Amino acid sequence: ANGFPVRRALKLVKLMAFPKADLIIYIDVPPQVGIERKSKTGKLDRHESDRRLLEKAKEIYEREIKSNVLGKWVVVDGTKNIKEVHQEILDVLKREGLI
């Protein structure tokens, strides 16, 4: 999201026949929520405080989720509390037969 062409990287992944992950869990947290949460626990670094960069990174992840180049993606709602997110991840892993 900060300069390296994502499409080029994904072409390299395909060209080099990287093995696909069995499952990729994406914990979806809107940039503003992430900034607010991190602000409560400590100082934001230059990347964490750059909302535009975070939004761009989120867009890149959302495109990759649709393309499935790296493997199968499952999106988990990261705006829920920690226990709910944890349970949802466990449910996904069970459903996929990984635990």
d(CA 32, CA 29): 8
- Tell me what pLDDT residue 1 has: 61
- For 7-32, the pLDDT digits (tens) are 787 788 788 888 888 999 999 999 99
- For 28-66, the pLDDT digits (tens) are 999 999 999 999 988 899 888 899 999 999 998 998 898
Number of residues written out for the chain: 99
Q: Look up residue 64 and give its amino acid.
A: E
Evaluated on CA atoms 55, 66, 26, 11, the torsion sign reads negative
Helix 51-67 / helix 31-41 crossing angle, nearest 10 deg: 130
Q: What region, left, alpha or beta, does residue 68 occupy, with left being phi > 0 and alpha being psi -120 to 50 degrees?
A: left
